[in-house]
Amino acid sequence: MSRFFFFIQEAFRALRRNAAPSMAAIVTTVTTVILLGVLIPVFQTTQAKSDEVRESLEFRVPVYDDATESEISALQRKLEAIPHVESVHFVTKAEALNEFKQSYGKNKVEESITQLRGHNPLPGNFSVKPDDASNLESVRAAVAPPGPEGKPKPISPIVVAETPTFEQQQGAKKIEQVTSALKIVLTVITALLIVASLMLVGNTIRLSIYTRRREVEVMRLVGATRWFIRWPFMIEGMVVGFAGGLVAILILWLGKVTIVDPLSSTFAFFAAQNNSTLSFPLLVAILFAASVLVSAIGSGITLRRFLKV
């Protein structure tokens, strides 16, 4: 126990004697933890929004107005049997009109309907949702595969031949491509930042130890064991990580309380972070533990080259 207290005393003595390198290590740790504390929630929220958009992608299969209930039921079974189809839902003419009103404005649509003498021009249709956005085109092609002449031929005679499928969302394929690319880009950026942050902390610790290499060499020459030399440096690294992590978490908490939380009621993107799988308390706990461990392990590993005397 007395040796443990000796190591602690040596660590704090070294921090006081090497204030500039120690402060640089603390500032580096603060910067790194803040970067990760901001990027990880942004990555999670963006990924959740991307998945939400991808999951909402669907297309419609219109049917003729004179289709019977048995024909509609038969077509639904055929659609459900197509590979990669997650759900099939029939939308009546009245429901299609209500959707149209919600999308383009009730008054404007009713004015157009009045000009058509109350006739509803929208067909009943099936809402077909694939199990993944990447399968959207293959499912659409299965609804109207190429016929003998190479032209699309619907799988049922009640499907409107002129437009066998149509999209309710504008540019569904483009949305799917953009969200896929966005997930890849964010994953790469997150990985690069994590690696860069670890290297930055490691280099700062290395510089701090390099300024005291003579001290380490003298201790080795007088017979001190490797771990006897290493422990004070590792404890020093833990103190640096603790201080840097604590300051960073305080800044992140202030940012959450003063910026993110007030804007959550206005912007859906900020509100989405409240439903993240990684809650804020868990995130700061992980970042705090990581800052302490990385600093301690980085000190121990970096010291190895100076212990070879």
Domain with CATH 3.30.70.3040 in the chain: 58-168
User: Residue 256: pLDDT above 60?
Assistant: yes
- Give me the percent of the chain exceeding a pLDDT of 70: 66
| Mean pLDDT of the region 130-140 | 83
For the stretch 72-95, pLDDT in tens is 899 889 998 999 888 898 888 888
81: nearest Cα among 155, 151, 136: 155
Q: Name the percent of the chain lying above pLDDT 90.
A: 3
The segment with the largest mean pLDDT, out of 222-231, 267-276, 288-297, is 288-297
Helix, strand, or coil here: 210?
A: helix
Complete edge-to-edge strand list for the sheet that includes strand 59-62: 59-62, 125-130, 85-91
Q: What is the pLDDT of residue 250?
A: 92
pTM for the whole thing? 0.60
CATH fold of 58-168: Alpha-Beta Plaits (3.30.70)
- pLDDT at position 104 is 60
Backbone angles phi, psi at 150, to 5 degrees: 85, -5
Across 289-308, average pLDDT = 72
Mean predicted confidence (pLDDT) in 118-131: 80
Provide mean pLDDT across the span 118-144: 82
Residue-averaged pLDDT of the chain: 75
